[in-house]
Structure 1
Amino acid sequence: MIATSSFGILGLSQLLSGNRDVVQSDNLRTDLVKREAEHLGWAAKLSDYIFDEHVHQLTIQLNPRQCTFGKWYYGDGRKNAELRFPEIKQPLADIEAAHLSLHESAQHIKAVYKKTDPTMVKRFLNIEVAHLNWGSKVQQAILQKSEKLDIQTDHTKCGLGQLLYSSDRKHIKTEFPEINKFLTSMEKPHKALHDSAKKINNSLQANNFQQATVIYDTQTSQALLEVRKNLHLGVALANEYENGMLKAIQLYDDETRPALKGVQKLLSETTKLVSEEAINIQNNMEVDSEESQTTLILVTLFALLLGGIFSFTITRSILGQLGGEPADLMGIAKSIAGGDLSRSLAIRKGDTSSLNVSISEMVSNLKRIVGEVRSGADNLASASNEVSATAQTISQGAIEQATGVEMTTSAVEQLNASVTQNSDNANITETIAVQSNHDAVSGGEAVVKTVSAMKNIASKIRQIEDIAYKTNLLSLNAAIEAASAGENGKSFAVVAAEVRKLAESSRITAEEINELATSSVDIAEHAGELITVVIPEISKTSELIQEISAASAEQASGIAQIANSMGQLDTATQQNAAASEELAATAEELSGQAGQLQDSVAFFKLD
């Protein structure tokens, strides 16, 4: 059988190799035909670029190494093809020169080709003739002293103006950018030419023929000369475009067409060689197939004879290795597969290494292992149930503890808020007490200053009393002197009496003020004494309030630390509760798995 298979595989390999060669040849022929078609399309695009007025850009690959055939020719494709088909090496080598010439011709055409309008030269010449006639009419009108010019003075409506300012200009701008550039340079002198004609026409209408002559000589003739000069440049450029197109056509006929024919011819020869090789491969495949078929039949017959002999020998050897009937072994194997380990096999005397003995030992070992696993599963199920119950109890206690810690934490937070508020109030009271102490000290100082000022007032009032007394004496003396003067001193005596009355009134008022000042001094001194007594008490009160504020701050800090600790305790308690719940869930899962293990072990029947 092995020999038969070997010969079959060998024949099949030869057929597959032949088929692979045929496929490769077909692929190569297809590639070569595609390359030939691509070059025809390449040449068609080049032809359209030259002859089709609607094609404005050359879109073909000019680099011979970057076109599709070039990439294949200079890459691994050509190397692989020559290795498989050596006979195509020479024609492929000959293609290179023709292929390079083909792409070089396109490069030459692109360098010299300029798309043109055949009517452009004639149009420029007609425009020049028309402007010469236009200038001649202006000159004749001046010489004949005409009343006005009979010409077109609008620079946009003459023949050149219609070219410069019409839709034709857009076409020229797109198709012939170099001609459009020189047309742009012509716009200014052309407009100046027609503007000078307007000035000449105004001079003629004013009968100022001398001025018209000067305008013509200095402006019109110069502008006309500039326009004609630009028209000559346009004619030369249009001729250059036309010559470039003729050169491109000549290059296409002299270089592109012959190179394309050479590439097509060599590609066709290469394709023909590949086709011939494919036919040879197919013929060889047919011969090899017939030979392989005959050999395979002979080898198969011989293999059948040897197979019968080997089958008889192998059967006897296998029965000896089994140690029993195959049906008995298959029956106990089915019993083991069904979980029944209670069956046993009869072992031949002296048999120690047969399959029958090995199966018997395996059954004994399986009985022992399954028994141990069943016992362990029962113990595991019991333990997992106890763990599950304990975990449930711990979880319930942890949840209750977490609830109590949360309530305690809430109470501590409320106490912390109250202590913090008391501390803030103590701080405010401390500030008020310090300010009150300061105000009391300032009040005591003010009272002392008030007593001193009142004493000074009393002293001044006594001086006023003394002055009033002396004024009274002086007025009395003056009255006596006035009485001794007789009639002449009456008026003076009246004044002296009035002065005495005022002095007496001042003295009485000063005595009253002195009594009030003396009484005020006594009151102020008593108030000062009271304030002096109160100030130490206020200072002591301020100190006590400061101590209360400090103590409140320390209490607030302590309560905050307690609240923080309670928060941490609450977190830990919550984590313990969660861990307890996870432990309970794990215990339940373990109990379930133990039950599954018991069910699995129950599959085996030991007795």
Structure 2
Amino acid sequence: MSWKDLNLAYKFSVGFGSVIVLLVVLGICSVFGIGGIVQDAGEVIEGNKLRGDFVQKIVDHLNWANKVNSLLTDKNINTLDVQTDPHKCGFGKWYYSDARDKAEELVPSIGPMLVGIEDAHDKLHGSAVSIKDKYQPVDPELGSFLREKELDHLNWMNKVLKELMNPLVEKISVQGNPHKCGLGKWLYSAEVKKHSREDPEFGRLVNAILTPHAELHETVEGLNKLLAGGDREEAQDYYSIHAEKAAEKTLAEMDALIKWHNGKLKSLAEALEIYATQTVPALTKVQTVLDEVRATVANNIMTDEQMLEQAEQTKGLIIILSVVAAIAGIFMAWLIAGGILGPLRKSVHFVEQVSTGDLSATVDMHRKDELGKLADGMRNMVGNLKDVVTSVNSATENVASGSEELSASAESLSQGATEQAAAIEEIASSMEQMESNIKQSTENARQTESVAEKAHGQAEQTGEAVGEAV
């Protein structure tokens, strides 16, 4: 069955149904497409957050290691301010929480990697505990400084001795103020006083240097007094008794401080050894695993670019479906409208021809739908009209023939009417005569009635008389 033979209800159903189906498909694609975009966006957000978390964990551990290193290398830092509990650092809190389970659900392949990081992470934080136990706050440059000052004071003693041996020298030209020599400036500095308060042992050793050091420099004044008095030999003896003894005591106390410092350096060296042999390898292992985890997450999680590309594809699909739906709607509208308006125009033209009296007009439309039925009805109507007109024409001819016969009959009737008029006059005359006779008869009847009444009266009287007689 061709399209034109389908009834209008079916055509409308097909047309609107097709558009509705396309709109439903478009709606479903839009819903699923938008749902996919939302899901992708959620995955991207979670993935970016997870990647960011791992990058932050890498940075956090680098900063953690940098703080440990600063303790060992920066003389201005004397306390270890890092988290030593592997369960309480930022990564540890995440590692031992539900967040790790969610991350492994999102990217299952990182599970084995995270299992392998636990031991290294524990060792990393454990090394900080060992370093903290071994570490002793110390200025690594203090030993060199003290040795340099020992050498300075030996040179100081040598210069004093040379001047005492030179008869031309009348005054010792060395620093006689214990506060102004290089060692004295350090001994009486605010830094040393602060350090002495913080470290009692250091303060005790520094205080042990102060007295012999002051006595050493004060010998310059005694020597100059002896030289000024011209007693060079006594000055030389004074040097041997007082200056050398004070110098020996000063250097001995400085050696004690250097020995104490060496002990501190040894502890520092042990802490550095722990840092090099335990902290650094553990940190490297942790950083390596975290980098691998971050890379794995990046490879398994949709990127922003992929999400945008997917969104563009969904957008393109929706646009295509929208265009197809619009084209389909327009086509179906054109097809249905054309299938209705064309036959209607033919029908209207046919009706206009018939309305002018042209019963020979016809409509060239052969369809099995409602419009075809309408055309068939109009053709049947015109056929019936032709039959009616034929019948009317035949009746008209019959009426014309009857009119001629009636005309002849009318003439005959006219002649008969004249004759009847004469007869009627005669009848009228006769009727007048009859009326006169009737009037006479009526009068006679009246007279007869009067006679009868009189006879009746006489009869009654006779009857009464007979009654009386009896």
TM-score, normalised relative to structure 1: 0.37
Larger Rg: 2
